[in-house]
Amino acid sequence: MFSLQNNTAVITGAGSGIGKAIALLFAKQGAIVHLPELKEETALETLQEILNAGGKGYAYACDITQPAMVADMMQQVGTFDLLVNCAGIAHVGTATSTTPEDFNRIFQVNVAGTYHCLHYGIPILIKRGGGAIVNMASIAALTGIPDRFAYSMSKGAVHAITMSVARDYLKNNIRCNSISPARVHTPFVDGFIAKNYPGKEKEMFAQLAASQPMGRMGTVTEVAQLALYLCSDAASFISGNDYPIDGGFIHLSH
């Protein structure tokens, strides 16, 4: 069960955090993984871990905000079965404090970047007779999170994109779902705390962890396991759904 033997996956954002955990797990389950990353050296670090563990994969330098780079990367990959759109950036701010530049930057990476991968990736899946797509949304797409205006906008778009793709390509045997994590402990979280709350790291970490009803943050492995399920044959009857993985945040917080 959950074997990805004889599968090839394209996973964006695999240089760190959730994307990296997904790449490592998919390779462990037998998939050949293709890792496009903004900085090729971070993709190569993940790839090295995969190769060391006996897995197979390839790394690419690819800025997903640039359509031509994505088209070129997809051409190099050739054919694949699974697409995981995990690359994304965060932003802190309200509608009034978010600058037009920041708004556009978040849109370009989180929304346009996802679109570019779908635009150039879906024809490949159609040609090979189908496949599975997982997009990384967020609980910010489903509920109000303070000071996350641009980020919420982008993840709401990813959620809607997922439903649209699932509907449009059902006849092509392509399944498309999204995952909406709550706060997950990644290097980004540590960096965010260190930058914004110097000297109060432990206190802030505890505060952020306590904001989930389960009293802790999620782990990257937990999110990766959900992505594995959705991309595996075990989920062959599932498309057009979003899966919150949130420690009870959406329904048990109030």
Q: What are the tens digits of pLDDT across the range 4-49?
A: 999 999 999 999 999 999 999 999 999 999 999 999 999 999 999 9
Dihedral sign computed on CA atoms, order 97, 103, 105, 109: positive
Q: What letter represents residue 208's amino acid? A: L
Between CA 88 and CA 167 the distance in angstroms is: 24
For residues 212 and 173, the model is more confident at 173
Percent of the chain at pLDDT > 70 equals: 100
Neighbouring residues of 107: CB distance < 8 A, sequence distance ≥ 6: 150, 153, 154, 157
- Which pLDDT score, from 0 to 100, does residue 211 have? 86
Record the pTM. Answer: 0.96
- In which band, very low, low, confident or very high, does the pLDDT at 240 lie, cut at 50, 70 and 90? very high
For tokens 């871990």, the residue is: 49
- In which band, very low, low, confident or very high, does the pLDDT at 254 lie, cut at 50, 70 and 90? low
Q: What's the mean pLDDT in 105-111?
A: 98
Helix, strand, or coil (residue 57): strand
What does each C-alpha distance from 12 to 16, 48, 51, 77, 200 come to in angstroms? 10, 16, 18, 13, 32
| DSSP alpha helix (H) spans, 107-168 | 113-128, 149-168
Annotation marks residue 115 as catalytic: no
Between CA 79 and CA 97 the distance in angstroms is: 43
Q: Residue 192: is its pLDDT beyond 90?
A: no
Q: What's the mean pLDDT in 56-69?
A: 98
The answer to whether 74 and 121 are in contact (CB under 8 A) is yes
Q: Which of 60, 120, 151, 243 is catalytic?
A: 151
Q: Residue 188: is its pLDDT beyond 90?
A: no
Long-range contacts of 46-55 (CB under 8 A, 24+ apart): 46/14, 46/15, 46/20, 49/24, 50/23, 50/24, 53/24, 53/27, 53/28, 55/24, 55/27, 55/28
- Which pLDDT score, from 0 to 100, does residue 203 have? 93
Q: Residue 243: is its pLDDT beyond 90?
A: yes
- Per-residue pLDDT of 123-149, as tens digits, reads 999 999 999 999 999 999 999 999 999
Reading across the β-sheet that carries 82-85, which strands appear in turn?
56-61, 32-37, 8-11, 82-85, 131-136, 174-181, 242-245
